[in-house]
């Protein structure tokens, strides 16, 4: 009798621990990914984020002419609603750019305009599918680019506030693709400071950071590399919570985004292989931290995020699509 009671208690304790444990630890690492189109018709999308009700938020660079850069919300059923438009859209060296990446946290949406160096913060807690767009002028903004340029980190001076994440202290950490730096923004007062400088990936070749995540103990940063985008030059850098920079993994090519698997391992995207005619058709890839190909033949991907369970969402700049990836 005592033995059976002991066994029952052991089972109950096990079930309790199981119920209280993050289920992510039971998710396997992806070995390969399958892809299906979730939404089409985006105008040169750059950044992707998800909120706590499984809506996706996406930035679109626009036409390259005027002010048609935008941010939109997409419901789990694929219904798109424009949240804000009127953001400057630029054509530079054959690519349309301007607005950069975005992120959601506790009812607020944060998005960067890389070319203008502006961080926007919007309360989206009451925004619903089908609502009218809000006015850009009504969204809080902060100038990040002027501070970056004041540091004089590159010659000529350059700034492109491109992506960000939140650290263990809830401060924001912004990567600047122009100055190859990580900028810390204080959560209380918005004060800016230089947190880390990303070194060149090769002699005379700048890193050009494109994505940043925090894995619970360190920051991981993907890099595009500067022209001529040589195969194998790109790296994943790691940055400690004190700002110390080291190489995490090497021998990648033109990385334009990074996310984390269920077990906090980096998953990165290759934008493409650059040649005499530009980026080769369908030379984009999704890769694990060891460079293993999880998905091939992609058209210039620009962002990847993890969804629920064994899913990821992937942006294609060239195709104007969001794809749902499964394993």
Buried b (16+ CB within 10 A) or exposed e, 41-53: ebbbbbbbbbbee
Cβ atoms of 196 and 148 within 8 Å: the answer is: no
Tens of pLDDT, residues 196-251? 999 999 999 999 999 999 999 999 999 999 999 999 999 999 999 999 999 999 99
Helix (H, G, I), strand (E, B) or coil at 10: helix
Angle (CA) 119-253-29 rounded to 5° is: 85
Instruction: Give residue 203's pLDDT.
Output: 95
Instruction: Give residue 290's pLDDT.
Output: 97
Closest listed residue to residue 178, CA positions, set 117, 233, 219: 117
Q: Is the pLDDT of residue 115 over 50?
A: yes
Instruction: Give residue 131's pLDDT.
Output: 98
The dihedral region occupied by 269, where left means phi > 0, alpha psi between -120 and 50, and beta the remainder, is beta
Buried b (16+ CB within 10 A) or exposed e, 140-152: eeeebbebbbebe
134-159: average pLDDT: 97
Query: What DSSP character marks residue 53?
Result: T
157-178: average pLDDT: 97
Q: Is the pLDDT of residue 16 over 80?
A: no
Tens of pLDDT, residues 84-106? 999 999 998 888 999 999 999 99
Give the dihedral sign, CA 158/161/162/163. positive
Residue 27 pLDDT grade (very low, low, confident, very high; cuts 50, 70, 90):
confident
Q: How far is CA 287 from the centre of its chain?
A: 15
Tens of pLDDT, residues 41-81? 999 999 999 999 999 999 999 999 999 999 999 999 999 99
Angle (CA) 86-91-95 rounded to 5° is: 115
Q: What is the percent of the chain where pLDDT is above 90?
A: 89
Query: What DSSP character marks residue 170?
Result: S
Residue 25 pLDDT grade (very low, low, confident, very high; cuts 50, 70, 90):
low
Q: Is the pLDDT of residue 14 over 70?
A: no
Which one is predicted more confidently, 194 or 3? 194
268-277: average pLDDT: 96
Instruction: Give residue 1's pLDDT.
Output: 45
Give the dihedral sign, CA 259/53/99/279. positive
Size (the chain), residues: 327
Bridge partners, residue 214, by sequence: 219
Q: What is the percent of the chain where pLDDT is above 70?
A: 92
DSSP string, 173-187: EEEETTTTEEEEE-T
6-14: average pLDDT: 46
Mean pLDDT of the chain: 93
Q: Is the pLDDT of residue 153 over 90?
A: yes
Give the dihedral sign, CA 29/32/37/42. positive
Angstrom distance (rounded) from CA 243 to CA 245: 6
């Amino acid at each position: 009798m005592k033995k059976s009671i002991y066994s029952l208690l052991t089972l109950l304790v096990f079930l309790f621990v199981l119920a209280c444990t993050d289920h992510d630890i039971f998710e396997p690492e992806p070995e390969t990914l399958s892809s299906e189109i979730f939404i089409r018709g985006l105008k040169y999308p750059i950044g992707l984020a998800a909120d706590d009700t499984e809506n996706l938020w996406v930035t679109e660079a626009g036409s390259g002419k005027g002010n048609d850069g935008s941010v939109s919300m997409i419901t789990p059923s694929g219904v798109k609603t424009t949240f804000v438009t009127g953001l400057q859209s630029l054509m530079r060296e054959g690519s349309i750019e301007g607005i950069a990446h975005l992120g959601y946290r506790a009812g607020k949406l944060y998005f960067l305009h890389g070319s203008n160096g502006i961080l926007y913060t919007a309360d989206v807690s009451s925004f619903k599918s089908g609502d009218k767009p809000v006015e850009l002028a009504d969204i809080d903004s902060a100038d990040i680019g002027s501070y970056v340029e004041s540091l004089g980190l590159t010659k000529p001076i350059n700034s492109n506030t491109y992506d960000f994440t939140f650290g263990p202290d809830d401060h924001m950490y912004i990567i600047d693709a122009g100055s190859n730096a990580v900028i810390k923004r204080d959560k209380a007062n918005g004060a800016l400071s230089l947190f880390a400088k990303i070194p060149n990936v090769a002699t005379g070749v700048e890193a050009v950071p494109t994505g940043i995540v925090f894995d619970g103990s360190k920051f991981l940063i993907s890099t595009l590399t500067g022209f001529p985008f040589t195969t194998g030059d790109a790296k994943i850098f790691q940055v400690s919570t004190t700002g110390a920079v080291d190489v995490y993994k090497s021998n990648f090519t033109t990385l334009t985004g990074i996310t984390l698997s269920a077990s906090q391992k980096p998953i990165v995207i290759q934008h493409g292989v650059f040649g005499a005619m530009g980026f080769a058709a369908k030379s984009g890839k999704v890769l694990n931290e060891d460079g293993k190909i999880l998905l091939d033949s992609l058209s210039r991907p620009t962002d990847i995020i993890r969804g629920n369970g064994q899913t990821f969402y992937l942006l294609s700049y060239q195709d104007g699509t969001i794809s749902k990836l499964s394993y």
